[in-house]
Amino acid sequence: MSFSISKAAFFCAALILAGFSSCTPSEKFLIKQNIHSAGSKIYIRVLLEVTDSRVLISSESRMKITDQKSQEILYNGKGKSIYFQPDKVSSPVQIESWGSPLSVDKVPYRGMIEVHNILGKINIINVIKINEYLYSVVAGEIISTWPDEALKAQAVAARTYTYHHLLKRNGAIYDLDNTNNFQVYKGISVEKESTTNAVNATVDKIACENNKPIVAFFHSACGGITADDKDVWTGDNKCYLRPVKCNYCRESPYYSWEENLSLYEIRECLNKEYRGIGRITGIRFQRKDNRVSAAVISHTNGVLNLTGNEFRLLFPVKKIKSMFFLAKKTNNGLKLKGHGWGHGVGMCQWGAKGMAEKGADYIEILKYYYKGIQIINAGPEEYAGK
Ligand SMILES: [Zn+2]
């Protein structure tokens, strides 16, 4: 069935959040708790989908739909599947279920679902406790059979990354989306017992610098030394993201790798992002701390300057696995010999595994890769008091 709500213009969370910009991070944190907490459990808002098509939301048990503006209960019943169409939703609604999870187009999620109509498109938002969100995220980010301490380190890194974005909220109706723009989130179906245990064992623990959550970047394998964030991305220069020697990730299948790149392939990939790329006549890489920091590409129509990371991301995901490579000319292009997989910044996941196997606990692992940090309890009272 279609669901129609003929109420006034939709509620916008931005109104409630107006004025946050002048607050300190801790103040923002407190204000958000007032809006999105139940007891000491903090809720976050994850954007699942933006679409101009209808979306099916269902539950096998009791489901309640509330108009968020008027607080009118629009439906309260059992075992329904309801389609939400953009032209039928004018006011945001909140959907709750008891006894079984809500499903969005048959994918089950913990927590509540909100449906908003933004400029004619349905926005589906999952409102969920941080820990329950992390059950899914951590399972998706690390191999669940790895040692417990490595899983716990990943859980704290993912929680910290989430808190960092919570504090950056600036009036949007969601905190993070479910893609690798933030952290990949696929709901209940990917959860694993071991990673859920790691999340629960580290509940409320986050990594901080000066009592603020760090930007807890992580990557698959550094290949021997992690990267300096300022050499990978422009912007902030964070002193806890400095190169760290790592002898722990040698078991990674990508600790060492080789790849051939033809000039044709390079030009094809460049042409997808940049206009007017001619025949490539030369490529020069600049290096810093073992990694390619810049690529200067000469072609028959000019010269293109890219950062090392921009160059890497031009290609399909596994083609250039890291910027930690040396290149040699071949007859038709380049042969790359490299180490590691990922941007190389922050915690090396295979390194965390290696450290855990040698007896390190999750705090030692985190402090090894993020220099100068403290692990604090982010429970509302404790964090608010810092
Ligand atoms: Zn490593």
Distance between CA atoms of 208 and 373, rounded to whole angstroms? 5
- Residue 116 CA to ligand 1 center (angstroms) comes to 43
Report pTM.
0.83
pLDDT at 166: 82
pLDDT at 254 over 80: yes
pLDDT at 380: 52
- Residue 224 CA to ligand 1 center (angstroms) comes to 5
Residues 317-338, mean pLDDT to the nearest whole number: 94
- Residue 291 CA to ligand 1 center (angstroms) comes to 14
pLDDT at 33: 42
pLDDT at 329 over 70: yes
- Residue 245 CA to ligand 1 center (angstroms) comes to 8
> pLDDT above 90 covers what percent of the chain?
69
- Residue 3 CA to ligand 1 center (angstroms) comes to 51
Q: Which residues contact 291 (CB under 8 A, 6 or more apart)?
A: 227, 231, 232, 308, 322, 323, 324, 344
Q: Which residues contact 317 (CB under 8 A, 6 or more apart)?
A: none
Question: For 200-253, what is each residue's pLDDT tens digit?
Answer: 999 989 999 988 899 999 999 999 999 998 888 866 778 899 999 999 999 999
Q: Kindly report the average pLDDT of the chain as a whole number.
A: 86
Question: For 82-126, what is each residue's pLDDT tens digit?
Answer: 999 888 888 899 999 988 999 999 999 999 999 999 999 999 999
pLDDT range class, residue 25, cuts 50, 70, 90: very low
pLDDT at 17 over 80: no
- Residue 296 CA to ligand 1 center (angstroms) comes to 28
- Residue 220 CA to ligand 1 center (angstroms) comes to 8
pLDDT at 343: 92
Q: Which DSSP letter does residue 190 get?
A: G
pLDDT at 167: 80
- Residue 177 CA to ligand 1 center (angstroms) comes to 28
| Consecutive H or E run containing 207 | strand 205-209
Question: For 270-300, what is each residue's pLDDT tens digit?
Answer: 999 998 889 999 999 999 888 999 999 999 9
pLDDT at 24: 39
Question: For 131-141, what is each residue's pLDDT tens digit?
Answer: 999 999 999 99
Distance between CA atoms of 141 and 218, rounded to whole angstroms? 10
- Residue 324 CA to ligand 1 center (angstroms) comes to 12
Take residue 98 and report the two structure tokens written for it: 């008891």
Pairing, β 347-348 against β 257-262: unpaired
- Residue 372 CA to ligand 1 center (angstroms) comes to 18
Whether the Cβ atoms of residue 54 and residue 84 lie closer than 8 Å to each other: yes
- Residue 197 CA to ligand 1 center (angstroms) comes to 25
pLDDT at 91: 86
Take residue 111 and report the two structure tokens written for it: 């927590």
Distance between CA atoms of 318 and 261, rounded to whole angstroms? 12
- Residue 323 CA to ligand 1 center (angstroms) comes to 14
pLDDT at 377: 86
- Residue 358 CA to ligand 1 center (angstroms) comes to 14
- Residue 340 CA to ligand 1 center (angstroms) comes to 7
Q: For the chain, what are the domain ranges?
A: 2-131, 257-338
- Residue 159 CA to ligand 1 center (angstroms) comes to 21
- Residue 106 CA to ligand 1 center (angstroms) comes to 38
- Residue 258 CA to ligand 1 center (angstroms) comes to 18
pLDDT range class, residue 57, cuts 50, 70, 90: very high
- Residue 292 CA to ligand 1 center (angstroms) comes to 17
- Residue 361 CA to ligand 1 center (angstroms) comes to 16
pLDDT at 326 over 50: yes
pLDDT at 15: 25
pLDDT at 39: 33
3 state DSSP class of 4: strand
Sign of the CA dihedral with 167 first, then 168, 169, and 175 last:
negative
Distance between CA atoms of 91 and 38, rounded to whole angstroms? 24
pLDDT at 218: 94
Residues 33-60, mean pLDDT to the nearest whole number: 76
Q: Which DSSP letter does residue 21 get?
A: G
pLDDT at 311 over 80: yes
Distances (CA, A) of 162 to 102, 157, 364: 23, 9, 21
Amino acid, single-letter form, for residue 70: S
- Residue 178 CA to ligand 1 center (angstroms) comes to 27
Distance between CA atoms of 203 and 146, rounded to whole angstroms? 19
Residues 356-365, mean pLDDT to the nearest whole number: 98
- Residue 319 CA to ligand 1 center (angstroms) comes to 19
- Residue 221 CA to ligand 1 center (angstroms) comes to 5
> pLDDT above 70 covers what percent of the chain?
86
